[in-house]
Amino acid sequence: MRTIDRTSPVPIYHQLRRLIEGRIEKGVWRPGDRIPTERELCETYGISRSPVRQALGELAQDGLVVRKPGLGTFITNHVSHKSSTKIPVRMMCSDPNWSLVLDHVSGVWNARHPDSTITFDIEVVPHPDFYDLLRAAVGSGTAPDLAMVDSVWVAGLADAGFLHALENLGPPGDPSGFGEDRYPASIEANSLDNHLYGVPVKADVSLLWYRQDWFAQEGLTPPADWNDLLEAAEHFLQPTVQRHYGLKHPLAFPGGTAGGEATVYSLMPFVWSAGGSVFDAETTCVTLNSPDTWTVLEYLRELVQRRVSSLDIIGYANDTSSKLFAEGKVAMALGGSYEAELMQAISSWSEEEFVRRVGATAPPAAPGSEPVPTMGGTSYVVLRQCEQPSLMTALLNVATDPAVIGDLYRSMWLNLPSPSFNVRLSQEAESLATQMSKLIASGRARPSISEYVKVSRQLQAMFEAAVSGSEPVDDIAQRAGQFIGVIAELPCRSA
């Protein structure tokens, strides 16, 4: 990186920090040298003073530079020597904000290991292109050491031979320990054939967002089951109530292939709570085509027919529902805990106002049943082309330690799929985060199979056909089950 790329999702201050670190490591700036002033850096890179100050502040905090009032900023002696021995760790991810976490992790690691310090070389790529770019990097022999991937993709990458099985990376007789202090669903989501390939690092869970301020004004309670959801929706469908809040429809959710994985993530809890499933427990046959699934598809169709939701949901992108909710155009939205930051940004509410206005509860369950949220999230994986996989194992143990990242995670509204992390949450100060952590603890993982992406597309098509047409739901479920059977090379159990 030689210039500031304004189109990059990587924050400008972090790009500048990387540029300065690169000059130090290459010896362009040596111990004792004064680097350009804030004004000079602003003029050189065409940026404002705020990111310059943030970059220099972090470099000073890490000991790479020292700032002397009235004199300037200088390269330090002892840290310059260390910087020349830093081990570069190449990371690929799609989250531009993750550099904040990795900066913190590297700081802790380097303080604990002064003789083997590391620096993260982060490549941030757009999420829609992430897996194609990662596969291309593997094919060309330029794969990173680590990558952050959606947990549902771990099995497919492992089956393709791209990943290290984590239990093989520790010293002989010393298991990695990554399966400890994690919820079983998060381990299941990151495993293939009883081998763990991903380290769960950021957990999210499906839920129902609702405007708790509006619910309080109307004397309503959060929906617990399907009947409650219809009752609350019909209340907001009353003409006077609709006009008061400016609503067209009470509920939004991704309802088709346009929503991609968000559709499956949001709607599978309806199937699970009704007793349905995609595969049997041993994954020896496809069980999707069942009366339980038919009931769910009929209910989702009814939501559209009764104007609870718009037929437009079949064209909703993965973030359309959360945007409509944040804009005050719907009273409820099915989605995920990962949407909180986006919704706060769109609404322009302060954190305090967001918590006051917005509530989150489990996806409504089938009457008489318990809710079963979808647990999802992001995982670290170690690529097979990594030259120091054992070092990556030790580094990831630090990067997923609640004692190391807990405070930072809480400040960023992030959850770790770890019981010891969740007990740190304060019920009074972090009610929303606490509620999400409880849902994560009861969540279920989507099928961990190498062909998951193809299976997911069939589930998306099934939900879309149900809400948008009049075809018998048993025919829709049968067709989806047969396609999934062909994909997974498994027989289909008859309804």
Rounded Cα distance, 199 and 397, in Å: 9
- Tell me which residue of 138, 131, 193 sits closest to 167, measured CA to CA: 193
Amino acid 147: pLDDT: 96
Q: Say if CB 200 and CB 399 are below 8 A apart.
A: no
List, as one string, the DSSP characters of 428-467. TT-HHHHHHHHHHHT-BPPP--TTHHHHHHHHHHHHHHHH
Parallel, antiparallel or unpaired: strands 251-252 and 332-336: parallel
Biggest CA pair distance of the chain: 80
Q: Say if CB 360 and CB 208 are below 8 A apart.
A: yes
Helix 452-468 / helix 291-305 crossing angle, nearest 10 deg: 50
Parse the chain into domains and list their residue ranges: 1-84, 204-374+445-488
Helix 402-411 / helix 98-112 crossing angle, nearest 10 deg: 150
Two structure tokens written together for 379: 């995982």
Amino acid 426: pLDDT: 52
1-84 and 204-374+445-488 in the same fold: no
Q: Say if CB 223 and CB 208 are below 8 A apart.
A: yes
- Residue 57 one-letter amino acid: G
Query: Model pTM?
Result: 0.76
Amino acid 80: pLDDT: 42
Amino acid 83: pLDDT: 43
Rounded Cα distance, 85 and 144, in Å: 20
Contacts of residue 210, defined as CB under 8 A and 6 or more positions apart, other chains included, come to 222, 223, 232, 331, 332, 358, 359, 360, 361
Regions of the chain with pLDDT less than 70: 1-2, 7-10, 77-85, 170-177, 179, 424-431, 495
- Residue 43 one-letter amino acid: E
- Residue 222 one-letter amino acid: P
Burial of 49 (0-12, 13-18, 19+ CB in 10 A): exposed
Amino acid 372: pLDDT: 95
Domain 204-374+445-488 has CATH 3.55.10.10: no
Domain at 1-84, CATH from 3.40.50.2300, 1.10.10.10, 3.40.1390.10, 3.30.300.130: 1.10.10.10
Amino acid 82: pLDDT: 42
